[in-house]
């Protein structure tokens, strides 16, 4: 056993002398770095202009609170301030904005009237086109307006029910204090997978990291097979029988997969995507075994011819990417059946074997 491990260590050491291997090893951390940096920046899905009209040269307090929620909230929209409605309309016509939200100077008065039962609009929404994404973006605006509407409805209900004077500073202060006391923090939604395990909400830009890392491990396994075929072409195994050559090919694959597995775990840890230790270990073990089988079968079908394997490499990686829920779950059954990435992602998410609690 010690001799096998020593042979594997020397083989890995030899791989790290290859520039191509070092380049491929750098792909994964660079990918994780770029996606992590991108997840902290602006999404660019939609660009929305926010206009907060002033009243007597000052921004009303309600407008400021709503604008702060929109500009600092957790959203995939790109929201930016625009000086006034005229510039917002110009940017809409020029295609620089997808939509504009105009908070009027009398927003507080409008909210009070709305809470009193009058059908009056609160915000003016300008949209360049009536697409589904633009329509869904309105939910972000509704979420920012809700606390102000809720407080206004609460205050009006109590003043009417107990015959309180709504303009009295003392009454207003007391009602505001009572309302603040019942505010509840935390999340309204609990995120769980199919196994019933609670998972953390994560950036949509970092979500594909696991699938892309698994695809990288598959690529590295093909590279290990190509290294073996190149060494065989150079005559390094001319002394070995066919059965011995297969064992040497297996060692090449295992050596590279060990390095790639460590890289994948580091990527998941850095991206904040780690599940429990048991589930990660089981998922990674299954991924390595399935990739080993997949690459071995492809190597057998191509009869060890490098030029054929190189020609098939990119199409195979693309098909595995399309057949696994890395970005989207297309549900193409033919691409799922023999796809190592599909089973790995499903097992890691708990949707393949939800009864296994690790």
Domains and CATH numbers, the chain: 2-39+201-349 (no CATH), 47-163 (3.40.1710)
DSSP line for 24-71: HHHHHHHHHHHHHHHHHS---S-EEEEEE--BTTB--HHHHHHHHHHH
Note down pLDDT in tens along the chain; length 358 residues.
666 666 566 667 677 677 777 777 777 777 666 666 655 555 457 889 999 999 888 889 999 999 999 998 777 788 999 999 999 999 999 989 999 999 999 998 999 888 888 888 999 999 887 776 777 788 889 989 988 888 888 888 888 878 887 778 887 778 777 777 776 666 656 656 555 555 555 554 556 888 888 999 999 999 889 888 888 888 877 777 878 888 888 888 888 898 888 888 888 887 777 777 888 889 899 999 999 999 999 999 998 888 999 999 999 999 998 888 887 777 778 888 889 998 898 888 765 544 333 3
The phi and psi torsions of 304 (rounded to 5 degrees) equal 70, 25
In terms of Cβ atoms closer than 10 Å to its own Cβ (0-12, 13-18, 19+), residue 227 is buried
| Contact in structure between 93 and 62 (CB atoms under 8 Å) | no
Output the pLDDT for position 338. Answer: 87
DSSP line for 258-327: HHHHHHHHHHHHHTT----HHHHHHHHHHHHHHHHHHHHHHHHHTTT-HHHHHHHHHHHHHHHHHTTTSS
Output the pLDDT for position 354. Answer: 40
20 CB-near residues (< 8 Å, 6+ apart): 223
Q: Which helix (H) or strand (E) holds 254?
A: helix 242-270
Show the tokens assigned to 287.
């991924």
> Global pTM?
0.60
């Amino acid at each position: 056993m010690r001799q096998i491990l020593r042979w594997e260590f020397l083989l890995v050491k030899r791989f790290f002398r290859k520039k191509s291997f070092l380049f491929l090893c750098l792909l994964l951390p660079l990918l994780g770095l770029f996606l992590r940096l991108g997840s902290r920046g602006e999404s660019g899905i939609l660009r929305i202009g926010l206009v907060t009209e002033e009243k007597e040269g000052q921004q009303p307090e309600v407008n400021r609170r709503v604008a702060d929620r929109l500009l600092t909230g957790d959203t995939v929209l790109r929201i930016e301030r625009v000086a006034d409605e005229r510039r917002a309309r110009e940017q809409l016509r020029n295609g620089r904005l997808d939509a504009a939200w105009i908070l009027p100077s009398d927003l507080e008065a409008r909210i009070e009237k709305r809470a009193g039962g009058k059908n009056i609009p609160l915000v003016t929404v300008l949209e360049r086109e009536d697409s589904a994404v633009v329509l869904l973006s309105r939910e972000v605006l509704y979420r920012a307006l809700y606390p102000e509407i809720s407080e206004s409805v609460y205050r009006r209900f109590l003043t009417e029910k107990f015959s309180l004077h709504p303009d009295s500073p003392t009454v207003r202060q007391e009602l505001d204090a009572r309302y603040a006391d019942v505010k509840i923090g935390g999340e309204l939604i609990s995120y769980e997978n199919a196994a019933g395990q609670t998972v953390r909400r994560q950036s949509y830009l970092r979500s594909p990291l696991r699938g892309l890392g698994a695809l990288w491990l598959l690529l590295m396994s093909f590279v290990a097979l190509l290294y073996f075929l190149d060494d065989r072409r150079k005559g390094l195994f001319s002394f070995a029988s066919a059965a011995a050559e297969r064992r040497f090919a297996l060692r090449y694959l295992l050596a590279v997969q060990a390095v790639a597995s460590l890289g994948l775990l580091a990527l998941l840890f850095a991206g904040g995507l780690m599940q429990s230790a048991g589930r990660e270990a089981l998922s990674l073990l299954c991924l390595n075994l399935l990739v080993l089988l997949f690459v071995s079968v492809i190597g057998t079908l191509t009869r060890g011819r490098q030029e054929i394997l190189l020609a098939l490499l990119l199409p195979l990686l693309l098909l595995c990417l399309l057949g696994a829920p890395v970005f989207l779950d297309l549900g193409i059954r033919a691409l799922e059946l023999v796809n190592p990435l599909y089973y790995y992602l499903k097992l890691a998410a708990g949707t393949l074997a939800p009864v296994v609690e690790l």
